[in-house]
Structure 1
Amino acid sequence: MSLKAFRCCQAVISPNSIMSDFEDFSRPAGQANVSESYQLNPTSVIVSVVFSLIFLLGTIGNSLVLAVLLRSGQVGYNTTNLFILNLSVADFFFIIFCVPFQATIYSLEGWVFGSFMCKVVHFFINLTMYASSFTLAAVSVDRYLAIRYPLRSRELRTPCNAVVAMVIIWGLSLVFAGPYLSYYDLIDYANSTVCIPGWEEQNRKVLDTCTFLFGYVIPVLIVSLSYTRTIKYLWTAVDPLDGMSESKRAKRKVTKMIIIVTVLFCICWLPYHVVILCYLYGDFPFNQTTYAFRLLSHCMAYANSCVNPIVYALVSKHFRKGFKKVFSCILSKNGRNKVHVVHVANTVPGFEAGSTEVSQMHEENVRQNECEMINRPLPEPREATVTVNLPFQRQT
């Protein structure tokens, strides 16, 4: 939030001490006559740059993840891919509906989007946070069952059950995030309108404590227990010096990727919850240090929605190949006509020019067919071989 909104929140909790704290903060030595808007200018620039990077990386990265998963014929047959898809959807919603509005909160003096968006934006922040934490807890249990009981868990780890789990995740997220639709409200303060919590202090403590417990502590405990048992089994059941099957290697790589994503989630969201708890239960004075720490905690929480695609690209060979195919298809579609004109202009009129155009068109068609057949299911090549053999059968 902006300095003015931050001061307003402090005034709601501690009205007797807020003015002295704010005067000490807003008037450093030698700058007693400097306006507040001038002091906010460097912060506004930094916030705009950081939030713009988060928005661009998060939008592009999660769009690529969704494109790879949705274009792949395996997403409907793999429970882990379904959970990753659900996590990417939550991150994408967070980036689109929350980050741009939160950037204006920190860079402008007041809230300019009205009462409805004040409530909806903070509702989406908690909705997507709950969905992400519940999804990570579900996928940790899924990974444990897949590695510890690969045969016995097949009946449980089905795509249908994964979809049911995703529906339950979003249903619980709606229930837990629902109260935030009335939690925030607009308040006129110092000749501007700010979007801050409007509940009484005791009710705020109850809701924020429940958010910390159900949205962070319990999912982290489930994740920690699941991955502790998973890692213990992986390193005790299989001798690292002996040969390992391809299936077990693949399961290890997927588990490693999900563990990294989970650890990043825990690290990025912990300061956010700590600031809220200190603000409600502890001594959280209004000064440069606390304001900077609050801003940093929000940036870390928001950045979590754009780091997952980077982890997928660094750890998973499947996602790296998928990203390359998506990029190659985009580039081929954008540069198809341009390359064709260049080939015609650089050839000598006659037979060679005609053959060059035909070969170029053939290459473009092949590239287009490759883009249309990204990660298709395996039965389709079998049908192609049957149709190729038909002319030989007719000749005999």
Structure 2
Amino acid sequence: MENISMDFLSNSSRRSENGSIPEVIPNFYLALPIIYSIICAVGLTGNTAVIYVILKAPKMKSVTNMFILNLAIADELFTLVLPINIVDYLLLQWPFGEFMCKLIVSIDEYNTFSSIYFLTIMSIDRYLVVVATVESKKLSFRTYRAAKIVSLCVWSFVTIIILPFIVFAKIHQDEGRLQCLFVFPYPEDLWWKMSRIYTLIMGFAIPVSTICILYSMMLYKLRRMRLNSNAKALDKAKKKVTFMVAVILIVCLFCWTPYHFSTVVALTTDIPQTPFVIAISFFITSLSYANSCLNPFLYAFLDDNFRKSFRKLVECRSS
């Protein structure tokens, strides 16, 4: 088994810093540890607050918040291990052994896949709520307990998806340095392309297509409701929740679309590894990392219950 060099635009995960490092490191590389540290600090603080509020505040026990809780857990796990990526980047090699290599890769991939699949579940939930409201029906199966079961199913499904990445993540000596890379069997090039296509389809094409279809159907039903029906419009609370889910989805796509678009570019174009191209790659990687610290701010700005519950919990602790 031989290693496929981890191309900065076409690596199989977001761990682009684990590839062959150019001998001359441009100045913009020096900013990356700072950017990653900021993402880590903000992400840990924000996601910890989200997890604490949802678990402690009685008013936050809702179906949507159960899915938001799992999103926050995925982001929290990733930001917890981000310092290891920073150390790896600064040392230009992997000093933590193969077990940690597989563990960090698995958490990285959990974050990659779980975020988009929990957003897909949240979109399905919003669609069911809108349809039930339009048709004046009750969703008796939509309970907090059911949301827990669905969340467990999502984690199980994502675990199955990321198993190949865990298998292929290994320590490999590259130019005298130990690197945590994906080591593919022969023919390496074919396996590398298959891994990229697999990530593109399972981590982007299928869930995003599902979300787009659901929101299109949702908008169609709402339009029909206004034009052809005497049914009551969505109440204010449901509108706010639907809007919040939509904004979270838009921000997620904004952060992740360049990463998945780079997959298409890597599969169809032979791009030379110039400093400019590498800089773009690191920017794309940082943008996908940033998604892990943005969601808590969206909850704080868009969810009145979250703000009130957070304020109340802080006041209780201070008193």
Where on the TM-score scale, by shorter chain, does this alignment land: which range? 0.7 to 0.9
Describe the shift of the 1:119–1:209 C-alpha distance in structure 2 as closer, same or farther (beyond 3 A).
Answer: same
Q: How many percent of aligned residue pairs carry the same amino acid?
A: 27
Question: What corresponds to 2:305 in structure 1?
Answer: 318
Q: Aligned to 2:254, which of 267, 275, 290?
A: 267
Asked whether the equivalents of residues 60 and 306 of structure 2 are also in contact (C-alpha less than 8 Å), the reply is no
* Shift, 1:170, TM fit: 0.5
Q: For 1:234 and 1:306, how far apart are their aligned partners in 2?
A: 32
Describe the shift of the 1:171–1:94 C-alpha distance in structure 2 as closer, same or farther (beyond 3 A).
Answer: same
SS at 2:179's partner residue? strand
Question: What corresponds to 2:64 in structure 1?
Answer: 80
How do residues 373-392 of structure 1 correspond to structure 2 at under 5 angstroms? none
- Aligned AA (1:144): Y
* Shift, 1:236, TM fit: 4.8
- Aligned AA (2:76): F
Q: For 2:213 and 2:31, how far apart are their aligned partners in 1?
A: 39
Describe the shift of the 1:276–1:105 C-alpha distance in structure 2 as closer, same or farther (beyond 3 A).
Answer: farther
How do residues 143-158 of structure 1 correspond to structure 2 at under 5 angstroms? 143-150=126-133, 151-158=136-143
Question: What corresponds to 1:287 in structure 2?
Answer: 274
* Shift, 1:63, TM fit: 0.9
Q: Aligned to 1:297, which of 279, 284, 289?
A: 284
Q: For 2:263 and 2:164, how far apart are their aligned partners in 1?
A: 17
Q: For 2:120 and 2:309, how far apart are their aligned partners in 1?
A: 26
Asked whether the equivalents of residues 64 and 326 of structure 1 are also in contact (C-alpha less than 8 Å), the reply is no
Describe the shift of the 1:153–1:122 C-alpha distance in structure 2 as closer, same or farther (beyond 3 A).
Answer: farther
Structure number with bigger Rg = 1
Describe the shift of the 1:233–1:111 C-alpha distance in structure 2 as closer, same or farther (beyond 3 A).
Answer: same
Asked whether the equivalents of residues 183 and 197 of structure 1 are also in contact (C-alpha less than 8 Å), the reply is yes
Q: Aligned to 1:195, which of 167, 177, 180?
A: 180
Q: For 1:189 and 1:206, how far apart are their aligned partners in 2?
A: 23
Q: Aligned to 2:215, which of 211, 223, 227?
A: 227
Describe the shift of the 1:10–1:313 C-alpha distance in structure 2 as closer, same or farther (beyond 3 A).
Answer: closer
Where structure 2 has 5 or more consecutive residues not aligned to the other structure, the ranges are 11-20
Which protein, 1 or 2, shows the higher relative CO under an 8 Å CA cutoff with sep ≥ 6? 2
Describe the shift of the 1:274–1:102 C-alpha distance in structure 2 as closer, same or farther (beyond 3 A).
Answer: farther
- Aligned AA (1:186): I
Question: What corresponds to 1:128 in structure 2?
Answer: 111
Question: What corresponds to 1:116 in structure 2?
Answer: 99
* Shift, 1:136, TM fit: 0.5
Q: How far does the alpha carbon of each residue in 1:137-176 deviate from its partner, in whole angstroms, 9 at most, with x for none? A: 0110101111221353512322232222111100110000
Question: What corresponds to 1:45 in structure 2?
Answer: 30
Question: Aligned pair 1:217/2:214, yes or no?
Answer: no
Describe the shift of the 1:133–1:10 C-alpha distance in structure 2 as closer, same or farther (beyond 3 A).
Answer: closer
Question: Aligned pair 1:168/2:173, yes or no?
Answer: no
Asked whether the equivalents of residues 44 and 107 of structure 1 are also in contact (C-alpha less than 8 Å), the reply is no
Asked whether the equivalents of residues 28 and 279 of structure 2 are also in contact (C-alpha less than 8 Å), the reply is no
Asked whether the equivalents of residues 54 and 302 of structure 1 are also in contact (C-alpha less than 8 Å), the reply is yes
Q: For 1:187 and 1:302, how far apart are their aligned partners in 2?
A: 25
* Shift, 1:271, TM fit: 1.7
Q: For 1:328 and 1:55, how far apart are their aligned partners in 2?
A: 26
Question: Aligned pair 1:96/2:80, yes or no?
Answer: yes
- Aligned AA (1:227): Y
Moved over 6 A (4+): none
* Shift, 1:62, TM fit: 0.7
Question: What corresponds to 1:350 in structure 2?
Answer: none
TM superposition score normalised by structure 2: 0.84
TM superposition score normalised by structure 1: 0.69
Question: What corresponds to 2:13 in structure 1?
Answer: none
SS at 1:178's partner residue? helix
